[in-house]
Amino acid sequence: VSTLVSIGDFSRMTFLSIKALRHYHEVGLLPPAEIDPDTGYRRYQVEQVPTAQVIRRLRELGMSLDDVRAVIEAPDVRARNAAISAHLRRMEGELEQTRATVKSLRLLLDEPAPAPIAISYRIEEPSVALAIRAEIAHDDMFAWLDEAFAELHVAVAQRTGVDGALFSGELMEDEFGEIVALVPGAGEAGGRVHALELPRVEYAVAVHAGPLEEVDRTYAALGTVVAGRAIGVQGPLRENYLSDDRIEICWPVFQTTPAA
């Protein structure tokens, strides 16, 4: 015969606030064992304490209630551990990101004016490429590109240039929008992979060398020049991945060169 305790006692026993316990009840994460039909008083079983302790620790690790629920309701130990490990991996990724951001912040504060970068102009004549397109959130960009290029590399037969990507305005401005991963050349379409005809575009181009966290500074330098000369036109930005730490950034412009 198990002991029932009031919400106050359960709170003291689990270090979860009463408000939190009521919230977990409301969302069905940790319903009390019993509810008095007259008074609405919640009664918890002492056997619910370990579950509550797990919930508190997962919440302290910043796991969302939905993910906590997945852990709590996992059918077996394997699934449970997988859910927890996935979260810990995410946290490690964030930690790496944090380290990089701190470094980047120090750099920015120490060196507010960036080294001047070379900007060139280029006319891209119409060309073909193998491409994958999608509407994604800005935060998913890296993961999405990794996967897309993996698929494209399998499909491409005749490469005529380095990997590149097109970013719609909305993707930058709204945190959600169209993205295209492309490999110049020809190959086998199928699945998400399709052939893409790239139109003629004029670009102002800058090369970003160095850590990815700094790439906004190159964008800013390039954008400043384009804005200063009032030559910007609409159309997606393009990045070309020259090497592991060299990215070519292409900003669409018009009439940078006298007509032939």
Partner DNA sequence: TTGCTCCTCACGTCACGTGAGGTGGC
- Site residues for DNA per CB under 7 A: 6-9, 17-20, 22-24, 36, 38-42, 59, 64-66, 137, 169, 173-176, 234
CB 166 within 8 A of CB 125: no
**Segment 217-256, which members bind its own copies (CB under 8 A)?**
217, 219-220, 223-224, 227-228, 232, 237
Helix (H) or strand (E) holding 6: strand 4-6
Helix (H) or strand (E) holding 250: strand 246-253
Residue 50 interacts, among its own copies, DNA, none and using kind-specific CB cut-offs from 5 to 8 Å, with its own copies
Residue 190 interacts, among its own copies, DNA, none and using kind-specific CB cut-offs from 5 to 8 Å, with none
**Segment 6-25, which members bind its own copies (CB under 8 A)?**
8-9, 11-15, 17-19
**Segment 177-206, which members bind its own copies (CB under 8 A)?**
none
Q: Work out whether 61 is an interface residue with its own copies (CB under 8 A).
A: yes
Residue 86: closest CA among 116, 114, 113, 66: 66
Q: Work out whether 112 is an interface residue with its own copies (CB under 8 A).
A: yes
Q: Count the alpha carbons within 13 Å of 249 in the hemisphere toward its beta carbon.
A: 21
Helix (H) or strand (E) holding 248: strand 246-253
Q: Where are the alpha helices (DSSP H) in the chain?
A: 7-14, 18-26, 49-60, 65-72, 77-110, 141-155, 169-173, 215-228
Q: CB 179: neighbour CB atoms within 10 A?
A: 22
Residue 181: closest CA among 156, 206, 212, 208: 156
Judge residue 133's burial from the number of C-beta atoms within 10 Å of its C-beta, 0-12 exposed, 13-18 middle, 19 or more buried: middle
Site string for its own copies, 62-91 (x = CB under 8 A): ------------------xx--x---x--x
Residue 257 interacts, among its own copies, DNA, none and using kind-specific CB cut-offs from 5 to 8 Å, with none
CB of 183 to its own copies, least distance (A): 24
Q: Work out whether 95 is an interface residue with its own copies (CB under 8 A).
A: yes
Instruction: List residues near its own copies by CB under 8 A.
Output: 3-5, 8-9, 11-15, 17-19, 46, 49-50, 53-54, 56-58, 60-61, 80-81, 84, 88, 91, 95, 97-98, 101-102, 104-105, 108-109, 112-113, 138, 169, 172-175, 216-217, 219-220, 223-224, 227-228, 232, 237
